[in-house]
A = this chain, B = another copy of it.
């Protein structure tokens, strides 16, 4: 029997859920494989309709979803309502992308005489890779879990999904699965389009199941390594898309610190403490000039941090990691210059008023010198903590970028007349991250076409994104047809189909408007 824990109190309660057995995993994977074949066959319009039904179903259950997730994550109704909106929006956005059809990368090369001799007709597009295993993350109970972007992009690709529910929001996962199954039922999707498995053993069994053709994951490096090791034992390798670890450096130029140091301090504070700092894109290091303006910025941050309320983390593992990693950072030479622990002392006679009950920690501000920044000082600490790295020269910053791990994001606060500085820093920023943010903050990932939520190792292990429309590419494979009769081709590759962008004989052709027949 599995339990659900309230992180605000640390109290666990029994649930009706059981760890999925090996037989249960096998059945889910087999049904998913059959569903994937059927989903591919039903075509794009069906999948767009399914995605719209998923969006509607999420909205229909908003209140219940938020309530159950709040009890399991402590993230609060405002943040969780936002996340439900994001989940619904994602399903809708992928529905639009499926209808638009550009993601198919449809190409037609007509038979031709070429410099290499006569050449056959070759047509290509992307098709579903098959059934996908999705591992929900702890920190986004909706947008990176059962109802998340991996599920959305897999369905868009034509894949079925078997979700490994995250242990720290099991009831939310179960309700989310029911929400998906309602949508599937509403549009008569194949059985096995959505299912879920519970428990770590089930997750490991899932990624080695022959019917599973890809896996996606958002979480820790350690958990990802365990899954990758399991996948490496398969006779047939499958792609494993992991979004893993990110320190997300921020650089503030002297000009920016002088012009808007207080605003940057507020923005940074909101960014590193939002959702209790439990975001993949949380800024973990900020390079601040070792100058009067820089000092003023740091003083503002100290003040904000010192006055901050304690924050509830998602589970006991994250809480204890926060304690041990913040300890290691201090051992490695960082100095704690502010902490949101300046609270009334704990009253032994009134334990309910203990502000540190449950999985609660105090936001923390640490400081070091950029010139002495090491890989140890750049260890990701999930939770409300940031390390300020004071610098005297840009070279110190660039050299430090060479020593710290690479990230999902890198952020630069600079003024209009900092052009030369920007030019100097760009190569380091481009090499170190998947998204470069100017004059704002890395948290808050826009769900859109051009988004890239990925980056060099260890931020991800692939050349793909897990947020935004191009996330669909992870679950697709190319298929080519040579000299095929029209009837054997998918409709998107037939001669007279023109509703999607296609590359014909090397030239990209936009969809043609449908001309209405007049008369009849």
Cβ of A8 to closest chain B Cβ, rounded Å = 27
Does A497 sit within 8 A of B, measured CB to CB? no
By a CB distance below 8 angstroms, the chain B residues around A465 are: 478
| Complex Cα–Cα for A206 and B241 (A) | 24
A465-515 interface with B by 8 A CB criterion: 465, 468, 470, 476-485, 487-488, 501, 503, 505-506, 508, 510
Name A54-109 residues within 8 Å CB distance of B: 82, 85-86, 89, 96, 100, 102, 105, 107-109
Report the Cα distance A423→B107, complex, angstroms.
22
Whether the pair B122, A450 counts as a contact (CB closer than 8 A) is yes
Instruction: Establish whether residues A122 and B480, one from each chain, have CB atoms under 8 Å apart when the complex forms.
Output: no
Q: Pick from B119, B416, B447: contact of A448, CB below 8 A.
A: B119
B interface footprint on A417-459 (CB within 8 Å = 1, 0 otherwise): 0010011001100110011111110000011111110101110
| CB proximity of A432 to chain B, nearest CB, Å | 11
Complex contact B116–A85 (CB within 8 A): yes
Check if B480 sits within 8 Å of A123, measured CB to CB: no
- B484 touching A438, Cβ below 8 Å: yes
Complex CA gap A89/B115 in Å reads: 8
Residues of B within 8 A of A372 (CB): none
Q: Determine if B426 and A488 form an interchain contact, defined as CB atoms under 8 angstroms apart.
A: yes
Q: How many copies does the complex hold?
A: 2
Inter-subunit contact B450/A108 (CB<8 Å): yes
Of A191-199, A231-239, A307-315, A325-333, the one with at least 4 CB within 8 A of chain B: A231-239
Report whether B116 and A82 are in contact in the complex, using a CB–CB cutoff of 8 Å.
yes
A19 partner residues in chain B, CB cutoff 8 A:
none
Cβ-based interface call for A127 (8 A)? yes
Q: Taking CB as reference atom, which chain B residue is nearest A505?
A: B449
Q: Let me know if A463 and B477 touch, CB within 8 A.
A: yes
Cross-chain contact A503 with B109 (CB below 8 angstroms): no
Q: Does A120 contact B (CB under 8 A)?
A: yes
Query: In the complex the two chains form, is A457's CB within 8 Å of B237's CB?
Result: yes
Contacts of A416 in B (CB 8 A): 485
Contact across chains for A480 and B447 when beta carbons are under 8 A apart: no
Cβ-based interface call for A37 (8 A): yes
Q: Which of B124, B427, B450 is within 8 Å of A452, CB to CB?
A: B124
A129 within 8 A of B: yes
What is the CA–CA distance of A506 and B461 in the complex, to the nearest angstrom? 27
By beta carbon, the residue of chain B nearest A412 is B488
> CB within 8 A of A479: which of B96, B430, B457, B483?
B430
B-chain residues with CB within 8 Å of residue A476 when the two chains form the complex: 463
Provide the residues of chain B in CB contact with A427, threshold 8 Å.
37, 41
- State the CA gap A127–B457 with chains docked (Å): 16
Chain A interface mostly helix, strand, loop or mixed?
mixed
Tell me which residues across on chain B come within 8 A of A426, comparing CB atoms: 488
**B448→A122 contact, CB < 8 A:** yes
A497–B273 CA distance with the chains assembled, in angstroms:
39
Q: How far is the CB of A158 from chain B (nearest CB, A)?
A: 12
CB A354 to nearest CB in B, in angstroms, measures 35
Query: Is A102's CB under 8 angstroms from B423's CB?
Result: no
Pair A482/B86 contact, Cβ less than 8 Å: no
A423 and B487 CA atoms in complex are apart in Å by 8
Q: Is the CB of A434 within 8 A of B116?
A: no
Q: Which residues of B contact A452 (CB under 8 A)?
A: 124, 478-480
Are A450 and B119 interface neighbours, CB within 8 A?
A: no
Among the listed B107, B450, B510, which residue makes an inter-chain contact with A107, where contact means beta carbons less than 8 Å apart? B450
The answer on a CB contact under 8 Å between A450 and B109 is yes
Tell me if A236 and B458 are in contact (CB < 8 A).
Answer: yes
CB distance from A309 to the nearest CB of B (A): 24
Q: Which residues of A (105-158) have their CB < 8 Å from a CB of B?
A: 105, 107-109, 114-116, 119-120, 122-124, 127, 129
Q: Which residues of B contact A508 (CB under 8 A)?
A: 102, 501, 508, 510
> Given the complex of chains A and B, what is the CA–CA distance between A487 and B425 in angstroms?
13
Closest partner residue, chain B, to A490 (CB atom): B430
Query: Does A449 lie within 8 Å of B506, measured CB to CB?
Result: yes
User: What is the CB-to-nearest-CB distance from A100 to chain B, in angstroms, rounded to a whole number?
Assistant: 8
Cβ distance A472 to chain B, nearest Cβ, rounded Å? 12
Would you call B446 and A122 a contact (CB within 8 A)? yes
Q: Are A446 and B120 in contact (CB under 8 A)?
A: yes
A119 to B434, CA, bound (A): 18
Between A and B, 23 residue pairs with Cβ closer than 8 Å are A86-B116, A89-B116, A107-B450, A108-B450, A109-B451, A116-B446, A116-B447, A122-B451, A124-B449, A232-B232, A236-B456, A237-B457, A237-B461, A419-B485, A422-B488, A430-B479, A434-B477, A435-B480, A436-B488, A437-B482, A438-B481, A448-B506, A463-B477
- Give the top 9 A-B pairs by smallest Cβ distance, nearest first: A107-B450, A452-B480, A124-B450, A236-B457, A435-B480, A452-B478, A437-B482, A109-B448, A438-B483
Beyond the given pairs A89-B114, A124-B450, 5 more chain A to chain B contacts, judged by CB atoms under 8 angstroms and listed by A's residue number, are A124-B451, A434-B480, A435-B481, A436-B482, A449-B503
